[in-house]
Structure 1
């Protein structure tokens, strides 16, 4: 199965770039380094794993990889919220919104895929 959504591929890549740019803008401290590193890893993983999921050879493989995408998007959202709550820097509201929207999109994709698999 080859799942294609060019707009979502572009959107996840832009999300990765925005997360990495935000990470670069933060001041350095030992604790911040840990959190920012985690955020950068999960944020960059969203786009990379989404592209991998789109190349899934079956619904089951696609679903498995999309669950990873969802986990990474949600983890990125978590780190953005931590940075915001620690008052290290105000997160760009658009970045937080995008993280929430992507998470919701991935949940919907996973639900629809499961539904399609069970109806076969």
Structure 2
């Protein structure tokens, strides 16, 4: 496993934990369940797909799983923005978690580009 892949793996796991805690808070404090379910699914899927990619059957399968993780990260960004703009989460909460998601997106894009250009 390359250094960048190990980094994204660890960061995605920590991010998933943050998503779980945020969703738990949204349900308990804001009684919000519909958007929270979507955020939980996409926000935890990022790491699950990265972990799954570790045992990919081929390089193409590995890249495909990372691409799906990237799509989930992008979807997670949508749910975070929506929860923020709908005032379920405040500016401080949003500014705390959204940069972590953006960093995962950048790391995934970088990994995918590197894998596609390497022989």
| TM over 0.5, shorter chain | yes
Residue 11 in structure 1 maps to residue 11 in structure 2? yes
Listed as ranges, the matches of 1:1-120 within 5 Å are 3-4=1-2, 5-26=5-26, 27-28=30-31, 32-90=32-90, 91-116=93-118, 120=119
Distance in 2 separating the partners of 1:6 and 1:94? 23
Separation in 2, partners of 1:36, 1:103: 20
Q: How far is 1:34 from its partner?
A: 1.2
Gaps of 5+ in 2: none
CA distance in 1, matches of 2:67, 2:7: 19
Aligned residues: 112
Cα distance in 1 between the residues matched to 2:9 and 2:115: 18
Bigger mean CA deviation after superposition, 106-115 or 62-71: 106-115
How many angstroms does 1:8 deviate by?
A: 2.4
Asked whether the 8 Å contact 2:84–2:94 carries over to 1, the reply is no
Farther-moved stretch of structure 1 (40-49 vs 86-95):
86-95
Q: For the residues of structure 1 that align with 2:13 and 2:43, how far apart are their CA atoms?
A: 10
DSSP 3-state at the match of 1:41? helix
Q: Which runs of 5+ in 1 are unaligned?
A: none
State the 1:84 CA deviation: 0.6
TM-score by length of 2: 0.86
RMSD across aligned positions (CA): 1.4
